[in-house]
Amino acid sequence: MLKHLLIIVVAAALAGCTQPEPAGLAADTAGDNGVQTGRYVLTVAEDEAGGVSSERMQAVVKVLQSHDAKSVEVLEGLPTIIVTATPGAIAAAEETGLLLAVQADGLSAPQ
């Protein structure tokens, strides 16, 4: 699963994506089993009807929890989940095919 995440990152780099570097990844903390965790923000994709059902949200949450995510927060009224978890858990969530976007919780500065 880590391999999948690596592939995504490399593909993004090759595609010339200019998103801010995922600061959360760089600032991970060691989890209970020694694997580093980081904070991520996930966007769940809309279904064919153009909405995001609670079932889709829960399906993602279940996967994250089954991979021992340290915290999972579903934002009310939004297709957004804030999660502190290992890269493996994030990769597992991506494998559900339910995610539109995965982003390490990046940083912005006053401009």
Partner 1 sequence: MPFLFGRMQRNSALICASILAITSVIGVTAQAQEEDAQKKEQEEKALRAPTLPGLEPALQAAPAQGVAPRLQTVPKPGLPGVISGPLPQLTPLPELGPLELKLQQTDLAVRVIVQYNRAAVGQGTSRITAADVATLKADKLQFANDQTRAFMTQRNIGTFRPIPNLPLATIEVTRSQLSALAESGQFAMIVEDKLSAPTLASSGAVIGVAEAHALQARGAGTTVAILDTGVERTHPFFGGRVVEGACYSSNVAAQGAASVCPGGVTSATTLASSGPCTGSASCDHGTHVAGIAAGDGGAFDGIAPLANIMSVQVFSLFTDAVGGPQNCANASRPSPCVLTYDSDQIRGLQRVNARRAARNIVAANMSLGGGNNAGACDTDVRKPVIDQLLANGVATVISSGNSSRVNAVGSPGCISSAVTVGSTTDADSVSSFSNMSATVDLLAPGSGITSSVLGGAFASKNGTSMAAPQVTGAIAALRSLAPDTPINDILATLRTTGINVTDSRPGGTIARRRIDIGAAAEALAPQEDCIGYNLSAVSLVDRGATAGWTITDGRTSMFAFGSKRAEGEAALAIIRKYGFDRTCYIARPQPTMTYLLAGGAASNAAHGAEDCISFNRNALQLQPVGSQWRLTDGRSSILMFPNNSEGQQAIDTITRHRFNRQCYVGRPGPSFTYWLAQ
Q: What does the alpha-carbon distance between residue 33 and residue 105 come to, in Å, rounded to a whole number? A: 22
Residue holding tokens 């592939």? 7
Task: Rank residues 2 and 20 by Cβ distance to partner 1 and give the closer one.
Answer: 20
- Tell me the closest approach of the beta carbon of residue 39 to partner 1, in angstroms: 7
Element (H, E) at 65: helix 54-66
Q: What does the alpha-carbon distance between residue 52 and residue 67 come to, in Å, rounded to a whole number? A: 23
- Tell me the closest approach of the beta carbon of residue 43 to partner 1, in angstroms: 5
- Tell me the closest approach of the beta carbon of residue 12 to partner 1, in angstroms: 10
Residues making contact with partner 1 (CB under 8 A):
18-21, 23, 26-29, 39, 41-43, 75-80, 82, 100-101, 103, 105-111
- Tell me the closest approach of the beta carbon of residue 87 to partner 1, in angstroms: 15
Task: Rank residues 37 and 92 by Cβ distance to partner 1 and give the closer one.
Answer: 37
Q: How far is CA 9 from CA 41, 43, 59, 76, 111, in A?
A: 16, 17, 24, 29, 27
